[in-house]
Amino acid sequence: MVAGQRRGLPGARVNGTAPDELLPAGVPPQPAPAPAAPARAPGPGAGELCARAFGAFTGRVLGRHQASAVRIGFGLVWLAHLLREWPNRRLLYGDTSPWSLDLAERLLADNGALTVLPWFGGRLWFELVYHLAVLAAVAVVLGWRTRASGVLFMVTVLSLQNRNVFLGDGGDNVVHLMAVYLVFTRCAEVWSLDARRRAPGRTGVVLWALLGAVLLVCQLGGFAGAGLTWTADTFPYVGWSPVFWGLWALAGLWWALGRLRPDGEPRAVLDALATMVHNCAMLVIAAEVVLIYATAGWYKVQGSRWQDGTALYYPLHLDYFTPWPWLSGLVASALLPVFLISYGTVILQVAFPFTLVSRRVKNILLVVMMAEHLGIAVLLGLPVFSLAMVAADAVFLPTAALVWVAARVAGAGARAGGVAARIGGLRSPREPLP
């Protein structure tokens, strides 16, 4: 065989010569075969995906920032309502209310709702409960001893609202539900005094013992009536006594295991259970918001005033919904914007559950809906309802946006503190500020 006719393997060399150099003249060189693509690793199977989901469900506190935003939002809403109605508190919930305590007790005997106001009656007890509600709201906003303050927040919200069920603008129902849900969340993981605490301290133990003693007195005193019962006549057939005693016992067990066996298996089991309960509660909160928008939207579709686009026109001519008459008159005179807002409200509420599959569309829609709620607060004079819905919408906000807002708020606070420090440093120690 002629040396020029010998062919070697692609990429090999024969006697130091490349194979392409051994081909006869006029024969094009043969291209080397493309390297084989690396084999892809098989994707995770259904079992592995389920294991990952279960691990995240039991080991990760999902939506920490969203839970803290909901806690701060509803704490501020309830605090603002209490402070705004402070001059009228006795007329709304107290001893001078047209809905007398006797009428309230008759209704409570039928629905079994929780309120501590009928336990003693009188102005002194009412003032104590009302101002305890203010302190509980402040503690929830700050995230101070959230396990205890969250329960007190729930009790005071239910007590005042169930005392007079004919008050409210729709936002009270949202605050009512969220006050119950927040008890089961770990809503103080970030942006709270609890998260900044380095050591457990003794304050929590003292507060736990004090609340246990108060609960025992209320349970055995006999003045609670049907408020503290072990069973209920309706689903889930569990009264408030096992709920309160269960929360109190779990808090004590959590603290004891954290001090005695912080790395033991019982503490790990409790932590996993608390995480699972938190994740379930966050899912319930999200589902509640979806149901509110979906039902509101579909009910509006059936209304004739929403169908012809005049639903917003009529409230703008009612004195009850016109805190700024000149502004309401200006908006009502523009028929095309009223028509577009009416139809847009229905479209947004009906479409909201379906936008959850797209993160970008959902975020855009959230901004629009929050802006609409703020407009309702100003234009129609419904601040509690509007701010409650804005706080509820926070459960769907992206974490990056919440962290960005928190950083800007912290930066503004730091700058304000620096300005105050510079002003204080410029004046003489003996010279008071004007």
Length of the chain: 434
> Could you tell me if 151 and 185 are in contact, meaning their C-beta atoms sit under 8 angstroms apart?
no
Listed residue (414, 394, 386, 415) closest to 174, CA to CA: 386
**What are the pLDDT digits (tens) for 2-43?**
444 444 444 445 455 555 555 555 555 656 566 665 656 666
Averaged over 333-348, what is the pLDDT?
91
Averaged over 37-50, what is the pLDDT?
68
Q: Is the pLDDT of residue 212 over 90?
A: yes
Place of tokens 């935003």: 69
Predicted local confidence at residue 229, as pLDDT: 87
Q: Is the pLDDT of residue 84 over 90?
A: yes
Averaged over 191-208, what is the pLDDT?
87
Longest dimension (CA), the chain: 119
Predicted local confidence at residue 11, as pLDDT: 47
Predicted local confidence at residue 2, as pLDDT: 45
Mean of pLDDT over the chain: 86
Listed residue (154, 151, 138, 249) closest to 192, CA to CA: 138
Place of tokens 């305590």: 101
**What are the pLDDT digits (tens) for 110-150?**
888 899 999 988 899 999 999 999 999 999 999 999 999 99
Per the structure block, which two tokens stand in for 104?
């309230």
Q: Which of 70-74, 293-297, 319-323, 345-349 has the lowest mean pLDDT?
A: 319-323
Integer Cα distance of 434 and 427 in angstroms: 10
- Half-sphere exposure (Cβ direction) of 408: Cα atoms closer than 13 Å: 5
Predicted local confidence at residue 121, as pLDDT: 81
Q: Is the pLDDT of residue 431 over 50?
A: no
Predicted local confidence at residue 27, as pLDDT: 56
Of the two residues 259 and 247, the one the predictor is more confident about is 247
Q: What is the DSSP string of 93-136?
A: HSTT-SS-HHHHHHHHHHH----SGGGT-HHHHHHHHHHHHHHH
pTM over 0.95: no
**Terminal Cα-to-Cα distance of the chain (whole angstroms):** 111
Q: Is the pLDDT of residue 288 over 60?
A: yes
**What are the pLDDT digits (tens) for 350-376?**
999 999 888 999 999 999 999 999 999
Averaged over 338-356, what is the pLDDT?
92
How far is residue 162 CA from its own chain's centroid? Answer: 23
- When pLDDT is cut at 50, 70 and 90, the band that residue 163 belongs to is very high
Of the two residues 17 and 108, the one the predictor is more confident about is 108
> By CB neighbour count within 10 A (0-12 exposed, 13-18 middle, 19+ buried), where does 29 fall?
exposed
